[in-house]
Amino acid sequence: MSVVVEYTSILDFIGFNSYSLMDNQYYPFLDEYNLPYAISYGLWKIIGGTIAWLINLIFPGNPVSEWLMGDGASTLFALIIFMLIIFIVVFVCTLISLWMERKCLGRMMDRRGTMIGMKGFLQCVADGLKTFMKENTIPGKVDRMTYMWTVSLVIGVSVLVACMIPLSGRWFVVNYDTGLLIVMAFFALAPFFILVSGWAQNNKYSLVGGMRAAQLMISYEVPMLIMIATTALLAGSFNIGDIVYAQNDNVWYFIPQIVGFITFFFCATAESERLPFDIAEAEAELVEGWQTEYAGMKWGLIMLADYFRGYVACAMVTIMYLGGWTLPIIGDGPIPEIVFLLKTWFVFFLMILVRAALARVRPDQILNIGWKVFMPLSVVNLAIVLLLKVGGVF
């Protein structure tokens, strides 16, 4: 390769025609095609190729250009771009669901919702900017380290789990065999940090809010896990892709598991701390619950994290019961990602409807609902699925 030439075309470096994604020896997804990675790999080929070409113009034949175009460096930088793409897509989807909530909730309440720019979408951006510009106040007597760390972890875990949701068979971060379990595990982590954060803030409202988050978690987590196990049992796998394609092969799982679908929907609402079950931040009695002492940027990010979790909850419902990114007859289709997102937003619309129509439950009522309603329902659901499975329908 170390051929000294006077002038090299940029096309040689970009290598647009010649690169092959899967042939790269460091290709991280084994033998599966990954669309966002392919996009980022192509992007790096263009960006890195240009940089390598520029360096090569100044220092002809240098090893840096060569390294930049090599397999290892390409994979490294492509992965960085890949992460950015995944995050931006999830971020935009979340903002859209936030916008959708504001508009739909407004119409349900006979008002207009946000109206600034692009039918109100830019209001999210304006709100974000506003919270970022606020002063970063930390109350005097809080446990500073725990105070900062817990909120970072709540936000971090929420973003992480949102990024780990696959949008289609070709749009994923990791394709574990236990994908469903891992997503649910990360999803269930946040209440722990909320609990600790409630202790750290030196505020009675936060303390009660944190305790309530724990109380909320023990009431919905068990039936939720039973229902995940039921779905996995029906599909015969914990792999998200397998579950989706199993539904495509037979029937969408909300038909055999209609009980489970409704129960899981409400559990997911509770998991994302949305209105009927937002007892941890019940603003009528606890000001803002565990978020009381967080101000400015931290509060804005917590709010955003809430919507990330709402998005994840809807995505889980879509994956487990609504056939994920597949459509009947068509199957995958040309753009399964859009199909998936549309389904997710439909579930989110149902959540908005529930929020508009219902009131907040009491902490002792959520325990009752969790253990006396959701739990038996999920077991009934499991029994139905077992019967179907034993009867050989699936």
Nearer to other proteins by Cβ, of 19 and 299: the residue is 299
97, 32, 35: which is closest to 341 by C-alpha? Answer: 97
CB of 382 to other proteins, least distance (A): 23
CB of 264 to other proteins, least distance (A): 16
Nearer to other proteins by Cβ, of 161 and 366: the residue is 366
Nearer to other proteins by Cβ, of 121 and 349: the residue is 349
CB of 129 to other proteins, least distance (A): 23
- Could you tell me which residues come within 8 angstroms of residue 30 by beta carbon, excluding any fewer than 6 positions away? none
Residues found near other proteins in the complex (CB under 8 A): 104-112, 204-205, 208, 275-276, 278-279, 282-287, 353-354, 356-365
Nearer to other proteins by Cβ, of 166 and 370: the residue is 370
CB of 136 to other proteins, least distance (A): 22
337, 349, 281, 294: which is closest to 92 by C-alpha? Answer: 337
| Gyration radius from the chain CA atoms | 24
Nearer to other proteins by Cβ, of 350 and 388: the residue is 350
What are the C-alpha distances in Å from 117 to residues 33, 88, 124, 141? 38, 20, 10, 41
CB 104 within 8 A of CB 349: yes
CB of 111 to other proteins, least distance (A): 5
Q: At what angle do helices 190-200 and 204-235 cross, to 10 degrees?
A: 170
Cα 347 to chain centroid, rounded: 14
β-sheet bridge partners, residue 331: 327
List, as one string, the DSSP characters of 250-273: S--TTTTTHHHHHHHHHHHHHHTT
What are the C-alpha distances in Å from 347 to residues 153, 342, 360, 365, 374? 27, 9, 20, 25, 19
CB of 317 to other proteins, least distance (A): 17
CB of 188 to other proteins, least distance (A): 23
Nearer to other proteins by Cβ, of 161 and 200: the residue is 200
Nearer to other proteins by Cβ, of 27 and 205: the residue is 205
CB of 109 to other proteins, least distance (A): 4
Reading phi first (left if > 0) and then psi (alpha if -120 to 50, else beta), residue 36 is in alpha
Nearer to other proteins by Cβ, of 275 and 312: the residue is 275
